[in-house]
Amino acid sequence: MNRITIAVAGFGAVCAGILVLVVLGFAVDAGVDGRSLRNVSEAMTPTLFAGEYFTVHAVTQGATSTLRRGALVTHRFPPDPSKHFVKRIIALPGDTIAMVERRVWINGTVASEPYAWYADTSADPVWDEFHWQDQYLARPSGEEAATYRPSRNNWGPLVVPAGDYFVLGDNRDNSLDSRFWGFITAGDVEGLPKRVYFSRDPKTGHIRWNRLGHVLQ
């Protein structure tokens, strides 16, 4: 799963975050619509941890030049636009994308993904949700289409439609992303995550002081 919630941090949390940023000389970017964004899942670990508040630069509608491969984005969840996710753009309109034994291939070339993280190396589960991919297979024969059995670590090749983008979480073994529910459009994108301004471990309650001011990339 991967969710971010639009939330107002507690007074103490905000003060602590701002104080540390000022001491370190960082400028705090404005969040989307002036709101704080809080990550509540582990789907972007280790880039963005659960319990982190981060700033976002809003994306102007139509400014697709900022939607490049590897860019972090916050976006509306297509099956339920009331929910907001944070993911990484992996493939652009017109790209052919596949995953083979966890390695992402873009247009026939293995992608360099230093941000990708794998927590579970012992399994490759198959989910029925993946079969939305059937209609986007790249030039399949009749037999290939009939026997296509996509799994978490092996799927494609898929052709990304014009105007659409394929996104993944950095925690590839624990992320609800395009593998499950399909592409996003430029209109789904709300902003570009920029900097962590407060981080608290939701399990222990400890503040992650070394993460305050961390630039997201």
pLDDT in tens, the chain (217 residues): 556 654 444 445 444 444 443 333 333 333 444 456 899 999 999 999 999 999 999 887 767 788 999 999 999 999 999 999 999 999 999 999 999 999 999 999 999 999 999 988 778 999 899 999 999 999 766 666 778 899 999 999 999 999 999 999 999 999 999 999 999 999 999 999 999 999 999 999 999 999 999 999 9
CATH of the domain at 189: 2.10.109.10
The predicted pLDDT at position 64 comes to 79
Is residue 133 domain-resident?
A: yes
Backbone phi, psi, residue 113, to 5°? -135, 75
Asked whether residue 125 is domain-assigned, the answer is yes
The first and second tokens of residue 103, run together, are 């390695």
Whether residue 34 lies inside any domain: the answer is: yes
DSSP letter at 28 equals: P
Report the run of H or E that residue 74 belongs to, with start and end.
strand 72-77
Determine, yes or no, domain membership for 217: no
d(CA 88, CA 136) in angstroms, rounded, equals 20
Q: The pTM is what? A: 0.83
* Residue 216 resides in a domain: no
First to last CA, the chain: 21
The pLDDT of residue 45: 95
In tens, the pLDDT along 46-104 reads 999 999 999 999 887 767 788 999 999 999 999 999 999 999 999 999 999 999 999 99
Spatial contact of 131 and 69, defined as CB atoms under 8 Å apart: no
Residue 162 structural domain = 4-211
Exposure string of 143-177, with b = 16+ CB inside 10 Å and e = fewer, is eeeeeeebebbebbbbbbeeebbbbbbbbbbbbbb
Query: Is 206 part of a structural domain of the chain?
Result: yes
Number of domains in the chain: 1
pLDDT at residue number 63: 72
